[in-house]
Amino acid sequence: MNGALAVYQKEVLTYFRSPIAYFVVAVFLVGTGYFFLYNVFLTGNATMDDTFQSMGVLLITLAPVVSMRLFSAEYSAQTMELLMTLPLKPWQIVLGKYLGAVTILLLMAAGTLINLVPLYLFGNPETITILSGYIGFVLLGMACLAVGQFFSALTHNQIIAALITVSVLLGFWFIGHLQNFQSSYVIRDLVAYLSFSLHYGDFIRGLLRSEAVFFYLVVIAISLVLTSGYLQWKR
Amino acid sequence: MEKSKSGRTFSAGLILLAGISLLATAGAIHAILLEPAAWILLLAVVGAGLTGWGVYRLRSELSAMVRGRRGEIAAYTLGIIGVLLALAYLSVRFPLRIDMTEAKLYSLSEQTVTMLQRLESPVHIVFFHDPLMRETVELYELIARQTDKVTVEFYDPMTNPAQARMLGVQFAGTAVMQSEGRKLQIHGGNETDIANGILRVSRGATQLICFLDGHGEADPFSLESHDHLEGAAGHTHGIGAKVVVHERHGMAKARNALETMNYQVEKVALPRNAEAFSRCDLLVVAGPKTALLETEVEAIRGYLSAGGNALFMLDPFVQTGLEPVAREFGVVLDEDIVIDPASHFWADPSSPAVTEYNRHQVTRQLPLTFFPGARSLSPTPQRVPGVSILPLVNSSKSSFGETSPDRARFEEGKDLSGPRTLMVVVNRRPVDAEQAMFGTNSASAANAGDGEGGAGGARRSRIIVIGDSDFATNSFFHIMGNGNLFLNAVNYLAAQENLIGIEPRTYDVPRVNLTNRQMKGTFFLSIVLIPGLLAIIGTAVWWKQR
């Protein structure tokens, strides 16, 4: 575990020494702030439902920018060999790097808490529903980062890693729409289950479902296991 | 020698790939067509054969791979993924939900849970839904989890039309509830509708539909198919047709359809049987040919004030005495007959035919309907407080309301120009005197009128007014969408009873009202301050690294 912690510390430092993390978080906060203001000014509702929905879409497009450099940058800087020769197990490298990216995600989520200030100052929002939305947001973000990390491990090119990740994540986001014209119930249930947006929607409307929580955890775990397995395979 | 070995390996790999591709193609085609076909089976068999052959030829390479380090890694990874997928499957099979909303919007009320736990007869529900009705599906699942007496099956009528046809279901959102040979269809998707439906079908409680009698109304027990009052105000079916025959129209086809849907049908003559009238779950006034007595009109008015619902089918040029009652619901019964030269049934321009409807539960997926001899309906000039009117069926733009029974030609200034409204649904909620005086239509008025409060102990009620009664008689009930329209209207009105008194779940969205200054402050905080600081730091980091 110490190995993973060392990788994590190095990863977080790398993020903060690079301008990308600052810009990604800034862009995310501008986007979230815009949607928050739009929803609150327009409807006068002291809720975060619509803002969370927009945050989900923003996350799908910005998470790959955070995850793309996790391994691709190591390949292109030719530091991957060095990393792999260290007395670390592949899962420790994967976990350490992943947690580094999750830290950025948590910063993004924490940054949006600023929106709650006027909501609580001038309104009376439902705290527990907002909490549920944040749980969904963090789980969705963690799943996106895990998928992004896997594709980052597969390619040396950061742009390609980001593009593939965005495509896959958008696929997962919209796959639920396929159920409209599925005649097979198995396929219909499957595409609904694979939908990031349907599960996320449950969280933001205040419904915590075990299958939604497990879905994101399983996506995270499978992505991390695949990344770890791939690194072992390459070693 | 080495080259030929790699060549063999390559060709075996190609065979394996071709085999797997054929298997996948067969699987995909089967998933699309969803029916067994010999050629798909053949494709699968060839695919399996090629795959087997490829694996056989690559056996040494595959075995080396499996036994090697990478094989172990692959097996280990796949094993973990398998375990994770099994966990995911278990989480779907045994779901847990925590409703985090303060109003408990996604949980069942205590009354429903108690009712479900005390159910005596098993209830099987077949719910027809489309993918957008996920929340209703979850509600049914939640109900089924409360007791083993309730079982639920789900179908999509689009993908399972045979199942829908078999149960007489026409659109998504319909549930067919069955218990001990009784059958009940419900269309509502909220907890109240579903719980009431379950209770009703399990108890065998049937709803009583009362047909007003004594004024020449269509008889729900008459099997006659073409009865007209000779010489009375009426209509013709086709040019030159003579109006003769029998006493009056029969509506036995409609009654049979209602009884199939677990309704009980009774004729009620008010002067004789005023007590029976209060038992009615729905009052149907099917085309009276003579005026009702003042006391009868008062009884109907009282029934509606007490929360009763009614279906008025009122023919043209007949004064029934119900005109003031309709006006109290904001509906004026025009003194005309609708003539539609552009869209009518067969050769009778006084039978306006309709194919496009306003969107409503009653008119959903309704085919063509026609109304042989219909009067038109208009809103009252002054809006009636507490009343919401929705026109459902309109004649075409070319139609007009002929105000003279002896003419069928539009005359400017005398006749009413089209399109004309043929059917309306009206919801009335009680309002207090002050609201009525100022004619307010605010949310507060709606809240004040909720439940049984309101003026003089009046309750919510709803009526449907149709400017024709013939469309649902034996002659025309079975043609096109006429029968469906009648049954949908009855279902819609009868579904208003509330057996266990569950209040519909309401949720007040928390509000935030910001002044301009506060808005500017929020904008600065959310969009400028923090993102701006981060952008400055990011630029500084980039500048330093440059």
CB atoms within 10 A of CB A181: 10
- Find the radius of gyration of the CA atoms of chain A: 19
Q: Is residue B449 over pLDDT 50? A: no
**Is there a contact between B370 and B362 (Cβ–Cβ < 8 Å)?**
no
**B102 in contact with A, Cβ within 8 Å:** yes
Which of these ranges, A149-163, B117-131, B444-458, has the smallest mean pLDDT?
Answer: B444-458
Residue A227: which pLDDT band, with cuts at 50, 70 and 90? very high
**Is there a contact between A41 and B519 (Cβ–Cβ < 8 Å)?**
yes
- Nearest chain A residue to B521 by CA distance is A118
Residue B495: which pLDDT band, with cuts at 50, 70 and 90? low
pLDDT of residue B231: 43
Average pLDDT score, chain B: 81
The SS3 call for residue B127 is strand
> What is the DSSP track for B5-72?
HHHHHHHHHHHHHHHHHHHHHHHHHHHHH-S--HHHHHHHHHHHHHHHHHHHHTHHHHHHHHHSHHHH
- Find the radius of gyration of the CA atoms of chain B: 33
pLDDT of residue B445: 36
pLDDT of residue B103: 79
Give the separation between CA B226 and CA B474, rounded to whole angstroms: 7
Runs of H (alpha helix) within B133-179? 134-146, 161-166
Of the candidates A44, A213, A226, the beta carbon closest to that of B77 is on: A226
**B538 in contact with A, Cβ within 8 Å:** yes
Q: Is residue B470 over pLDDT 60? A: yes
Averaged pLDDT, A62-85:
90
Q: What is the pLDDT of residues B364-405, one digit of tens each?
A: 778 899 998 899 999 999 888 889 999 999 999 989 998 887
Contacts of A33 in chain B (CB under 8 A): 523, 526-527, 531
Minimal C-alpha gap between A167 and chain B (Å)? 23
pLDDT of residue B436: 46
Q: Residue B144 contacts by C-beta under 8 Å, 6 or more apart in sequence?
A: B125, B150, B151, B152
- Nearest chain A residue to B99 by CA distance is A207
Q: Is residue B446 over pLDDT 50? A: no
Q: Is residue B66 over pLDDT 60? A: yes
Cβ distance of A222 and B511 shorter than 8 Å: no
Interface test with A, best of B104, B512, B513 (most A CBs within 10 A): B512
Cβ distance of B100 and A207 shorter than 8 Å: yes
By residue count, chain A amounts to: 235
Cβ distance of A33 and B526 shorter than 8 Å: yes
SS (H, E, C) A23-89: HHHHHHHHHHHHHHHHHHHHHCECCCHHHHHHHHHHHHHHHHHHHCHHHHHHHHCCCHHHHHHCCCC
pLDDT > 70: what percent of chain B? 85
**Is there a contact between B57 and B12 (Cβ–Cβ < 8 Å)?**
yes
Nearest one of A234, A220, A211, A228 to A144, comparing CA atoms: A220
**B76 in contact with A, Cβ within 8 Å:** yes
Averaged pLDDT, A55-79:
93
Q: How many CA atoms does the CB half-sphere of B197 hold within 13 Å? A: 28
Minimal C-alpha gap between A166 and chain B (Å)? 23
Averaged pLDDT, A59-82:
91
pLDDT of residue B496: 52
Q: Is residue B448 over pLDDT 50? A: no
Cβ distance of B513 and A119 shorter than 8 Å: no
Q: What beta strand segments (E) does chain A contain?
A: 207-209
Residue B503: which pLDDT band, with cuts at 50, 70 and 90? low
Q: Is the peptide bond before B122 cis (omega within 30 degrees of 0)?
A: no
- pLDDT higher at A148 or B484: A148
Point out which residues pair with B210 in neighbouring strands: B266, B283
**Is there a contact between B281 and B494 (Cβ–Cβ < 8 Å)?**
yes
Give the separation between CA A167 and CA A174, rounded to whole angstroms: 11
Q: What is the ipTM of this complex?
A: 0.87
Averaged pLDDT, B33-50:
87
Q: State the pairing for strand pair B175-179/B263-268.
A: unpaired
pLDDT of residue B74: 86
CA B261 vs CA B172, B182, B199, B360: distances in Å? 18, 9, 15, 21
Q: Is residue A186 over pLDDT 90? A: no
Residue B205: which pLDDT band, with cuts at 50, 70 and 90? low
Averaged pLDDT, B479-496:
83
**B100 in contact with A, Cβ within 8 Å:** yes
Give the separation between CA B546 and CA B542, rounded to whole angstroms: 6
The SS3 call for residue B416 is strand
Q: Residue B381 contacts by C-beta under 8 Å, 6 or more apart in sequence?
A: none
Six-digit token string for B131:
């993918």
Averaged pLDDT, B502-509:
60
Cβ distance of A207 and B98 shorter than 8 Å: yes
Interface test with A, best of B526, B527, B533, B537 (most A CBs within 10 A): B526
Contacts of A126 in chain B (CB under 8 A): 101-102, 510
Contacts of B94 in chain A (CB under 8 A): 210
Which of these ranges, A49-53, B357-361, B397-401, B433-437, has the smallest mean pLDDT?
Answer: B433-437
Cβ distance of B509 and A232 shorter than 8 Å: no
Give the separation between CA B394 and CA B384, rounded to whole angstroms: 22
Average pLDDT score, chain A: 91
**B353: enclosing H helix or E strand:** strand B353-354
Q: What is the pLDDT of residues B91-144, one digit of tens each?
A: 988 888 898 888 788 888 777 887 888 888 899 999 998 878 888 888 898 899
Contacts of B79 in chain A (CB under 8 A): none
Distance between alpha carbon A169 and the CA centroid of its chain, in Å?
10
Residue A104: which pLDDT band, with cuts at 50, 70 and 90? very high
Minimal C-alpha gap between B509 and chain A (Å)? 6
What is the interface size between A and B, counted as CB pairs within 8 Å?
A: 178
pTM of the model: 0.63
Q: How many CA atoms does the CB half-sphere of A3 hold within 13 Å? A: 13
Q: Helix B38-57 crosses helix B2-33 at what angle (to 10 degrees)?
A: 160
- pLDDT higher at B400 or B453: B400
Q: Is residue B17 over pLDDT 70? A: yes
Q: Most distant CA pair in chain A: distance in Å?
A: 57
pLDDT > 70: what percent of chain A? 98
Chain B residues 147-176 with CB within 8 Å of chain A: 159
Of the candidates A125, A183, A215, the beta carbon closest to that of B159 is on: A183
